[in-house]
Amino acid sequence: MPFINSKVNVPLTEEVKEALKTKLGQAISLIPGKSENWLMVSLEDNCSLYFKGKNNTKMAFIEVKIFGRAAERDYERLTEEISKIYRDTVGIAQDKIYIKYEEAEHWGWNGTNF
Ligand SMILES: O=C(O)c1cc2cc(O)c(O)cc2[nH]1
């Protein structure tokens, strides 16, 4: 049950949101055992983001939360893929994207915990 929360400082059309959701759903399977089947995605646009004191360029902050653990090499591959997705789909330069990973030991679903 991964969760991807993304904030960008530009507006996103419904078409772009759909494309991001689909591409992120494919990318998450770079982490063994994860898939779009359990993926929840939040796409926040028009956020007030500042990087290095400035807000005059497109930027993104993306959080990836997973239940359990993953290997460093899988996070490396996912960072590469997510950065390409936001570059190709939203036009954000790779050096204006932060990606944060979190591993959760406790995850609730359907009224109980895994
Ligand atoms: O996506 C995961 O991390 C995930 C899905 C899933 C389903 C399930 O029935 C489990 O017991 C664990 C689990 N992890």
**Whether 81 contacts 75, CB under 8 Å:** no
Give the residue whose CA is nearest to atom 10 of ligand 1.
Answer: 114
**Whole-angstrom distance, CA of residue 22 vs CA of residue 7:** 17
Burial class (CB in 10 A: 0-12, 13-18, 19+), 75: middle
Give the residue whose CA is nearest to atom 5 of ligand 1.
Answer: 1
pTM, rounded to two decimals: 0.96
Quick one: pLDDT at residue 108?
A: 98
Identify which of 89, 101, 91 has the alpha carbon closest to the alpha carbon of residue 5.
Answer: 101
Q: Is the CB of 67 under 6 A from ligand 1?
A: yes
Global ipTM: 0.89
Mean pLDDT in consecutive groups of 10 residues from the start of the chain, 114 residues: 97 98 98 98 98 98 98 98 98 98 98 97
Quick one: pLDDT at residue 87?
A: 98
For the chain, the 3-state helix, strand and coil shares in percent, each to the nearest 5, are: 35, 30, 35
Q: Is the CB of 3 under 6 A from ligand 1?
A: no
Quick one: pLDDT at residue 15?
A: 98
